[in-house]
């Protein structure tokens, strides 16, 4: 199976030896996205809602670069620095996806990159 790195000049650049997104066969794996403003490289301030929007927008930029959209996402993982942010995150998350919703896990992490409050990764399919 061939692999193809996917990137976007509009998306934040990876900070390590990994691809922002990787196509393998009919699947696209989007690496964890934190709420970094791609235009400035700075972490978005504000509450969990603002950070969730930016992280999901960053996922969307990579989906778009691969010719996909949120409708093609089949699985996500949401990492929260504080599980008390779950309800507010969930309200924002629900505006980015429609039924049938992707499968999802949400876990609390002791610490996220750049001390973000949220990180989201995704798997999408080219088959939808």
Task: Walk along the chain (128 residues) in steps of 10 and give the mean pLDDT of each run.
Answer: 91 89 98 95 95 98 98 98 98 97 98 95 92
Would you list the domain boundaries of the chain?
Answer: 3-8+19-125
In the numeric block, which tokens belong to residue 2?
A: 């061939």
Pairing of strands 21-24, 27-33: antiparallel
Q: How many CB atoms lie within 10 A of CB 73?
A: 24
The reply to whether CATH 3.30.470.20 applies to domain 3-8+19-125 is no
pLDDT at res. 125: 98
pLDDT at res. 127: 86
**Using an 8 Å Cβ cutoff, are 57 and 8 in contact?**
no
Q: Report pTM.
A: 0.96
pLDDT at res. 128: 60
């Amino acid at each position: 199976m061939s692999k193809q790195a996917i990137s976007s000049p509009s998306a934040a650049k990876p900070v390590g030896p990994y691809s922002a997104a990787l196509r393998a066969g009919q699947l696209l794996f989007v690496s964890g996205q934190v709420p970094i403003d791609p235009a400035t490289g700075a972490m978005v301030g504000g509450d969990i809602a603002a950070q969730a929007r930016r992280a999901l927008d960053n996922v969307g930029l990579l989906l778009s670069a691969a010719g996909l959209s949120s409708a093609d996402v089949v699985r996500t993982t949401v990492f929260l620095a504080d599980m008390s942010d779950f309800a507010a995150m969930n309200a924002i998350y629900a505006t980015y996806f429609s039924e049938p919703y992707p499968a999802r896990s949400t876990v609390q992490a002791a610490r996220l990159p750049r001390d973000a409050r949220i990180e989201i990764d995704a798997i999408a399919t080219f088959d939808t």
